[in-house]
Amino acid sequence: MNDMQEQDRMILDSVHRFCEAEIDPQVHELEARDEYPAAIVEKMKEMGLFGCIISEEYGGLGLSTEVYSRIIERISRSWMSVSGIINSHLIMAAAVQRAGTDAQKAEFLPRFATGELRGGIGLTEPDAGTDLQAIRTTARRDGDDYVVNGTKTWITNSKYGNCIALLVKTDPKAEPRHRGMSLLLAEKGPGFNVARKLEKLGYRGIDTCELEFKDYRVPADRLIGGAEGRGLQQILSGLELGRINVAARGVGVAQAALDEATAYSQTRKTFGKPICEHQAIQLQLGEMATRTEAARLLTLSAARAYDRGERCDMEAGMAKYAATEAALENAIAAMRIHGGYGYSKEYNVERLYRDAPLLTIGEGTNELQRIIIAKQQIERNPA
């Protein structure tokens, strides 16, 4: 094992201990109260997790996407919401690291790495989700500023965070539409309003909000890359990372469901023997274990492609689709194995059952992923 591999192993061991010591003892109460895990976030700052994939040149850990995905998987096994706090933040950071100007990198990446500036991405609007080109939020140039007006919704890290990579229309009349879209680094200030926190079935504890922008001013030098019309491409590149993250979250939830079901099946007895000795339960556990490992391998494959700098929308889409469906199927299976206890809030499977469906929707629905996969399959294999 070389030094880098040893370093990676040590980081993963540290994350494992962090999850056991800091997340596991609190998750049940925090999740039930829908309470933001402020102390956990502060600990993640100390560990440098907000700089996971930010280059060491800018104060980050400089980890590979593969190691990052393993970190997200492990955190999600304990509480999926916590992994989302890192994910949205690092999509924003990745956009700056890959497309920002030298001045933007020097100013923002060190502050992102420490968590001093923490936030996410402002894409979705009430009438624009999967079809991002349909956004209506505008940014009009006015001297040295852009003046932003519009509404965003389902924005993670927007209440307790302080910076958003904001997708806007700088030329609403442009055709094709993506040529009029730009990405701004928007720090909180006058006109940047958190309208309300959204109540959710699962994915609780994390701040997911609706934002309103009313004559909100952003300095023109916060336009990522320094040129208008490149915002959609910049954020779609970041979404490859986001989909790998969501895939890793899916693996974590699938593994957690498998762990809970395996443990319970060995202690619960029916007809004089543990239910794990009944063939019906064994069939379910076998499927759950296979789904989990297949999802893990697809996720690692996509992460390695991303690390090589290859186009990986197909690989990320496959990983996201397979892993999140595995999470959903395993959560349902775990609940059924637990029987009536699985429906009780005293057991973790009830939370997994509520968390898993979001993964099939976020970072591009699984219906969209299948379309992306099919189009890439055709493009890569012309007749």
Nearest to 19 by CA among 86, 66, 113, 65: 86
Strand partners, 119: 163
Euclidean distance between CA atoms 159 and 206, whole angstroms = 9
Count of CB atoms within 10 A of residue 340's CB? 7
Nearest to 307 by CA among 69, 1, 2: 69
Residue 186 region by backbone torsions, left for phi larger than 0, else alpha for psi between -120 and 50, else beta: beta
For the record, the structure tokens of 206 come out as: 């994390």
Which one of 350, 363, 367, 379 is the catalytic residue?
A: 363
Strands in the chain per DSSP E: 119-122, 138-142, 145-156, 163-169, 181-187, 192-197, 208-219, 269-270, 273-274
Euclidean distance between CA atoms 125 and 219, whole angstroms = 23
Helix (H, G, I), strand (E, B) or coil at 202: coil
Catalytic residue list contains 210: no
The set of catalytic residues is: 363
